[in-house]
Amino acid sequence: MMIAITRDPIDPARFIEAAKIPETGGIVTFIGTVRDDGIEALDLEVCEEVAVSDLHRIALQATREYHLNTVDIVHRVGRMQLTDTILVIVVGASHRQEAFSACSWILEQIKEYVPIWKKDIANGQEKWHFHEKNDQ
């Protein structure tokens, strides 16, 4: 299990390969990227200690409830440009439906509970706001 907050670019392939274990029949991956909502860049900040604790709690709960074999959650912070990867969630389960359901549930939990602040940067303007549900 890899649960992390990083300022470095994230390589999803690393986590997908690690999820390939004999008892896993389905691997589901979510890759969140910086999209063009009229912005030029995005800056994310986080209370790292709280966020990592929250991500661990979410991963453990998902593992129990969805019978996961593997789960990785890596969230990037700092300055990012359009199309940069913000978030990678990779879950492996014996069956695909558990993997799909778990990945979706994890994403919604992150959006709901993990303290992440976002600054949109566009046309020389900067606007901070809390990382809101359905915002990514």
| pLDDT value of position 79 | 96
| pLDDT value of position 124 | 84
| pLDDT value of position 134 | 41
| Range 38-48 average pLDDT | 94
| pLDDT value of position 14 | 96
Res. 133: pLDDT tops 50: no
Domains contained in the chain, CATH given: 2-122 (3.90.1170.40)
Q: What is the dihedral of CA 84, 111, 44, 117, to 10 degrees?
A: 160
**44 in Cβ contact with 77 (< 8 Å):** yes
**Residue 129 confidence class, pLDDT cut points 50, 70, 90:** confident
Start-to-end CA distance of the chain, whole Å, equals: 23
Mean pLDDT score across all residues of the chain: 93
Q: Above pLDDT 90, what percent of the chain?
A: 90
Tens digits of residue pLDDT in 72-115: 999 999 999 999 999 999 999 999 999 999 999 999 999 999 99
| Range 50-70 average pLDDT | 98
| pLDDT value of position 131 | 52
| pLDDT value of position 106 | 98
| pLDDT value of position 130 | 64
- Which ranges constitute the DSSP H helices of the chain? 12-18, 48-66, 96-113
